[in-house]
Amino acid sequence: MNLANKIPVGVLGATGSVGQKFIQLLEEHPYFELIEIAASDRSAGKQYKDAVNWILSTPIPEKIAQLQVKQCDSAFSARILFSGLDASVAGEIESTLAGRGHIIVSNSKNHRWDADVPLLIPEVNHGHLALLKHQNYGKGAIITNPNCSTIGLAVALKPLHDAFGLEQVNVVTMQALSGAGYPGVSSLDIIDNVVPFIGGEEEKLETEPKKIFGKYANGIIELADFKISAQTNRVAVLDGHLETVQVTLREKASPEAIIEAWKNFRSLPQELDLPLAPLQPVHYFTEERYPQPRLHRNLDKGMATSVGRLRRCNLFDYKFVILSHNTVRGAAGGSILGAELLAGTGNIM
């Protein structure tokens, strides 16, 4: 692609925790130039630095700090609008803006199950971009990110599904606090504690992989037919979702063959050498105490999925542990990689 002219982009929901992560990751991006930010009416009209309660450990990029926050239904100049909007408002705003010709790359759940909207993980189902030509947004489009707890799981399962076929997937999560947004979880609820419930999360984990791993044909995604059960828990971790996984495969597989499948897994984002693509999407650890959220969540720009402890299981074929950074790979970083994929495959004109 011609990088002489960067693609102008904007962020919707710019003051929230995902919005902040977008702004951090878009700083000095080789493809994209962040020119517009929008948030709720409460923030609109203010300079960004005055509107936001910045919770990241790197400073607000200087140029963005001075930007005036727009309303979400404003006219935008940006070609791509990244959305970290709350689900209570995202659905309609995103449709409207796509209708006005913007490409919407969204973290919200509202459009994930629209028949013509890709539920995109670039390494896993880039073929689903074929849906875009069936959308009715003119020059605009909508693509969506899966839920943060689904993404790392799907990346780790992809090489197994390709090589051996998934039959059953059982997952129990220990999820980070940043997944609940800011202020999100009260400190009184989580210090010296675990909360064994996250509203709506188990449903997402039990359904989204079926669309992600579905087959595209004639404008339609046929859902994959493996079975999934999920149990989700909130733990006192700032970033990084850890998940214990059990799988039964359709074909026999040795542990060595599974580990090879993970290590050798590369996909279109790696072939296109996209800026945020991890060099190696799945990193397998041989140390039995790994992966751990604090040590490995930032691996490969926070975009790698870490896996460890593969071993045979008494009830399924195998069990193992995965870790994925929920606000990078599982939200803002995943969306940006999706937009990079659009750019790299000539889907942005």
66 contributes a contact to a second copy by CB under 8 A: no
Q: How many CB atoms lie within 10 A of CB 199?
A: 8
* Exposure string over 109-145, b if 16+ CB within 10 A, otherwise e: bbbbeeebbbbbbbbbbbebbebbeebebeebbbbbb
List the catalytic residue out of 72, 102, 148, 296: 148
Q: How many CB atoms lie within 10 A of CB 172?
A: 15
The footprint of a second copy on residues 231-260 (CB under 8 A) is 231, 233, 235-238, 242, 244, 246
The footprint of a second copy on residues 157-186 (CB under 8 A) is 168, 170, 172, 174, 177-178, 182-186
- Which residues touch 284 (CB under 8 Å, ≥6 apart)? 259, 262, 263, 307, 308, 310
| Annotation says 111 is catalytic | no
87, 223, 279, 313: residue in contact with a second copy (rule CB under 8 A): 313
Nearer to a second copy, 101 or 200 (CB): 200
68 contributes a contact to a second copy by CB under 8 A: no
Binding mask 196-235 for a second copy (x = CB under 8 A): xx--------x--------------------xxx-x-x-x
Nearer to a second copy, 252 or 289 (CB): 289
**Can you tell me whether residue 159 is helix, strand or coil?**
helix
124 contributes a contact to a second copy by CB under 8 A: no
* Per-residue CA distances from 114 to 101, 127, 132, 159 (Å): 18, 17, 12, 26
316, 345, 347, 348: residue in contact with a second copy (rule CB under 8 A): 316
62 contributes a contact to a second copy by CB under 8 A: no
CB-based contact 323:295 (threshold 8 Å): no
Q: How far apart are CA 60 and CA 65, in angstroms?
A: 6
CB of 191 to a second copy, least distance (A): 6
CA dihedral 96, 17, 107, 186 (to 10 degrees): -110
List the catalytic residue out of 241, 283, 296, 325: 241
Nearer to a second copy, 95 or 168 (CB): 168
101 contributes a contact to a second copy by CB under 8 A: no
Q: How far apart are CA 320 and CA 311, in angstroms?
A: 6
Q: Say how many residues make up the chain.
A: 349
104 contributes a contact to a second copy by CB under 8 A: no
* Per-residue CA distances from 313 to 247, 248, 285, 288 (Å): 9, 9, 19, 16
CB of 276 to a second copy, least distance (A): 18
Place of tokens 């013509």: 116
Nearer to a second copy, 120 or 299 (CB): 299
Nearer to a second copy, 5 or 58 (CB): 58
| Annotation says 241 is catalytic | yes
Binding site for a second copy (CB under 8 A): 17, 55-58, 168, 170, 172, 174, 177-178, 182-197, 206, 227-229, 231, 233, 235-238, 242, 244, 246, 288-298, 308-309, 313-316, 319, 321
Residues forming the active site: 148, 241
